Amino acid sequence: MRFDGFAGNNDVKQQLSAAIDSGRFPHALLIEGPPGSGKKTLARLLVKAAVCTGAGEKPCGVCAACRKVDSGHPDVTWLCGDGTQKSLNVAAVRALREDAAVLPNEAARKVIILADADPMNPQAQNALLKILEEPPAYMLFILTVESRAKMLPTVQSRCITVSLHGVTDEEALPVLRPQFPTLSEQDLLDRIRLFSGCIGAVLQSAEDEQFSKAIDLIDTIARAIIAPQEVTLLTAFAPLERDKPLTDTVLAGLKFVLRDALAISIGDPDLTISVSPEAARMLAASLPKRALRDAIAVIDDLQTSRKRNMNQTLLLTVACARLREAAGR
């Protein structure tokens, strides 16, 4: 299989190529990985590989079927969660089940992608399980989630799981260099490390002049989570109230620092540390794993609520209180 435009993750590429090149395309794939690690990019390549009609290694990227995946292929359905349980609920999954029972229009396979499927509730996952247990021979399901732990064990057991991770500096630089032509090498490396090598997260990060401010803020907020007084955290959050792009970068970066802290706590051997290693080590030393997981969930919720245009000041105040509670302060 070809992975044009998908950097790094060589272990995943080998795992998928071994299966797909020998004609063993799975019926269900679960792609897990941190934000911006390329879950949807990989899903799109797999969809193309499944419907491609070109000769040679797949996907060719140029046949009519490959091109239709980008513009709208009749046998490919994308369903993207919006961070709430409502978006991929039981009714949505039941509708998929009916769709899956209809033969593909033109391709040999029919593909359904459930992107950002993390918040699916157990009822919706059980409805999905009914199709995963006996899928029609032509079906391919692709689910993308930040963590497989969000899916029921019964769903996980029906899927081949691949785990994406950040890429190395050497793998990220050629992809990102053209996107940030004015940044110095060191500034670009700082940015790659802040997001633990997750290229999509780097691409979404704030404007250049904001970036050093964002790094400082991430460090300040991370430390303030465990400060003795709540006012320290409220003050640290204050610069975010009127600056949406800065807030997006800070929240994304803060999540990477919390994930680093959790990885340090569990002794993860694949640890790629972000740009605030000291803050991550301090959080790991000060908080139990459960508190770190809760704090990550608070940032998740805050990111979701922000997409729905809720009152920014109120959201940040509530998030401060919840972070303090998670940290047992």
Binding residues vs Zn ion (CB under 5 A): 52, 54, 59-60, 63, 66
**E strands present in 86-238:** 110-115, 139-145, 160-163
CA 95 and chain centroid, separation: 25
- DSSP 8-state secondary structure symbol assigned to residue 328: T
Distance of closest approach, residue 82 Cβ to Zn ion, in angstroms: 31
Distance of closest approach, residue 63 Cβ to Zn ion, in angstroms: 3
User: Pick from 316, 280, 283: which is nearest to 298 by CA?
Assistant: 316
- Cβ closest to Zn ion, residue 54 vs residue 136: 54
Distance of closest approach, residue 62 Cβ to Zn ion, in angstroms: 6
Distance of closest approach, residue 4 Cβ to Zn ion, in angstroms: 11
Distance of closest approach, residue 59 Cβ to Zn ion, in angstroms: 5
CA distances from 242 to 101, 239, 307 (A): 49, 7, 15
∠ CA 295-323-240, rounded to 5°: 105
- Cβ closest to Zn ion, residue 52 vs residue 201: 52
Return the structure tokens found at 141.
């399901």
CA distances from 58 to 24, 28, 51, 98, 210 (A): 13, 18, 9, 29, 41
- Phi–psi pair at 9, nearest 5 degrees: 55, 45
- Cβ closest to Zn ion, residue 63 vs residue 152: 63
Peptide bond into 59 cis (omega under 30): yes
Q: How far apart are CA 127 and CA 107, in angstroms?
A: 26
- Cβ closest to Zn ion, residue 54 vs residue 277: 54
- Cβ closest to Zn ion, residue 66 vs residue 132: 66
Distance of closest approach, residue 18 Cβ to Zn ion, in angstroms: 21
Q: Are 118 and 126 in contact (CB under 8 A)?
A: no
- Cβ closest to Zn ion, residue 66 vs residue 283: 66
Residues 6+ apart with CB under 8 A from 150: 117, 118, 119, 120
- Cβ closest to Zn ion, residue 47 vs residue 263: 47
Distance of closest approach, residue 53 Cβ to Zn ion, in angstroms: 6
Tell me the β-bridge partners of 77. Answer: 112
Q: How far apart are CA 90 and CA 145, in angstroms?
A: 18
Distance of closest approach, residue 70 Cβ to Zn ion, in angstroms: 11
- Cβ closest to Zn ion, residue 4 vs residue 98: 4
